[in-house]
Structures are given as structure tokens and as C-alpha cells.
Chains A and B, each alone.
Chain A
């Protein structure tokens, strides 16, 4: 019962947060990969859907010194990871940040990310009018050995 109430309140809070900033983007299944203690970087994955054409142009987190948007490419079996200036979100189309494509890279981590932690992320979007809006997201930390394929949860979650 309590859980239901909390879930309801959280839903209200989310709705309120989204009403406040008018970024037209819905973020689903945001998660980060947990780390081992001395590890200084990890990736965040999620699904982004925007009601109007916009662009993810930046991200930040209180858990990391630097946050970049990365694209992973496999060229002749060589993995290449590059920072990209942004990711286009066409209206109504879900863009997945997942294995084999884009991810948000958290660098200079301030501490270990433990499984179950909730990592705050601020995503910055720029509309066609060049106006910037941001969305606060809590990304749940999944185990270091979690699969990064698609948005579905794997394992006993």
C-alpha cells in the first residue's frame, strides 16, 4: 500500500518536474553500469522520446567530474568510442542509448557506483529555436556484468 502511495507520489513529482521545464522529452529505463572501487568511468543508457524535434547536446552529473555523449562504433572488429556534440531526437521517434550505439559517458567518477544506487543525471536538450532545456533523471545502477542490449531489464529485477 505504502509502495503504491510512494509510486503515485513519484509519478506526480515526475509529472510536475516535466511540467516545470517544458523539454518535450520522455526518458525511459535510464540506467548506469555499476563500477568497482577504483574505476573512474562508466556508461549510462536510456531511451529518449521527444514529441518534437530536438537534440541532446549535453549532460552532467554530481557523481562525475565530466560527462560526455559518446558514440561507439565497431569498424573491422575495432571498437572506437568518440565524444559527439549531440544526438538528434526526431519527433515521436524513440532513440535508444544502448550497446553498439550511443551512451552517456561518466568520467572522473567521484566514487564507486554500487548496484542499486540512483545516479543523478541532468540532460540538456536544444530545440530547433536554439533554446536549451534540461531534464533531471535518476539512473539506476545495474550490476557491472549486466547486459547493455536494449531497454529490457535482465536478471532478478
Chain B
């Protein structure tokens, strides 16, 4: 009888321990040595860095305007996450970095970004700065000709940074807004029990 009780207690303990350990829907990237900084221009031509967003969590996506669905749906999801977080999401900064600076002019980027979130910061750099940034964030992108135009293959993870500017998660495109919100809630939870 005592053995059974002990066994039950052990199980309960394990379950509780399981609850405590963070379970992420996205890919855990905590502790990676890359994805630390960018230096690019916003749509008004001002230079921006990741460091200046310290104190606020950041969701970062690399994409381009002439992208039929992955880019709008990723930005839509980010905007939904921000809404779902409500007051907790105050300060959550969504950032888009274009992998198509040739076609994504500042004006086009500004109009496009505003559709998803009026506070969205859209960034661009020249060819070299874009490549350098993509490398720093381990983002693959490649121009691919189609007809008399081109499309851009690119990494479609949404990166999540905590308020200290550390890269913490990569949210794949197939996760729902609810799943990403869950991750963000967990990430933003005050560290009470550590």
C-alpha cells in the first residue's frame, strides 16, 4: 500500500517536473552564438540595429513583398500573436528584413508593412549588407528566375528574441498564431521560480 502511494507520488512529481520544464512549439535556439545584430535602414532611411530594441521582445522575419503567401501569412501571424498577447504583448516589436532590396523600395516596404501592423519596422540594406545580415542570422536566400521575372527562395522561420536581445526561438511557418502566442507567453513569463 505504501509502495503504491510512493509510486503515485513519484508519478505526480515527474508530471510536475514535466510541467516546469519549458516546452516550446517552435525550435529552441537559446544559447546560439549567431543572430546577434544587424545594421540596416528603415523605410525613412534611418539606420537601425537590433540593440536598440533591448527591453522589448522582438519577432523577426526575412521576406519580400512579391511573395505570394509565406510572407503575408507570417506577418499576419506575427500581428495576430501581438493581438493575442494583449497587454502582455505591449512592446513586442515585429521586424521585417527584405531579401529583395532590388524591388522592395523604401516606399513599397513602408506601405506593405503598415498593412500588417502600424508599428512594424521594415528594414533593407544594399546587396552586401543584406547578405551579411542573412549570414549572421543563418538565413538562406537565393534569387530564382521565373518567366521574365524572379522569385526568392528564403528561410521562412520567424525568430523570437527575448527582451534582453537574445535569440530564443525559431517559429516555423506551419505553426498557428495560437502556438506561437503560447511560446511568447512562456518566454515573457516573469522568472519567479528560478
Contact = CB atoms under 8 A, between A and B. Distances in A.
A145 interface: yes
Nearest to A107: B149
B70 A79 contact: yes
Contact of A43 (B68, B75, B172): B68
Contact of B73 (A40, A42, A107, A148): A148
A5 interface: no
A83 interface: yes
A143 B79 CA distance: 14
Contacts of B39: none
> For the complex, would chain B's binding face be called helix, strand, loop or mixed by DSSP majority?
mixed
Contacts of A108: 148-149
B68 A36 contact: no
A99 B73 CA distance: 9
Nearest to A44: B68
A147 interface: yes
B173 interface: yes
Contacts of A66: 147-149
A33 B4 CA distance: 61
Given A77-B156, A77-B170, A78-B154, A33 B72 contact: yes
B2 interface: no
B20 interface: no
Interface string B95-113: 0000000010101100110
A72 B153 CA distance: 10
Contact of A145 (B76, B147, B172): B76
Given A36-B111, A66-B147, A79 B73 contact: no
A147 B172 contact: no
A36 B72 CA distance: 12
A38 B112 CA distance: 9
B154 A72 contact: no
Contacts of A140: none
Interface string B146-174: 11110101111100000000000010111
Contacts of B85: none
Interface of A: 33, 36-43, 66, 68, 70, 72, 74, 77-83, 99-100, 103, 105, 107-108, 143-149
Given A74-B173, A108-B148, 15 more contacts: A33-B72, A36-B112, A38-B107, A39-B111, A41-B68, A43-B68, A66-B147, A66-B148, A72-B70, A77-B170, A78-B140, A108-B149, A143-B115, A148-B73, A149-B73
Interface of B: 65-70, 72-73, 75-76, 79, 103, 105, 107-108, 111-112, 115-116, 140, 144, 146-149, 151, 153-157, 170, 172-174
13 contacts: A33-B69, A37-B108, A38-B107, A66-B148, A77-B173, A78-B156, A81-B67, A99-B73, A103-B68, A105-B146, A145-B75, A147-B76, A148-B69
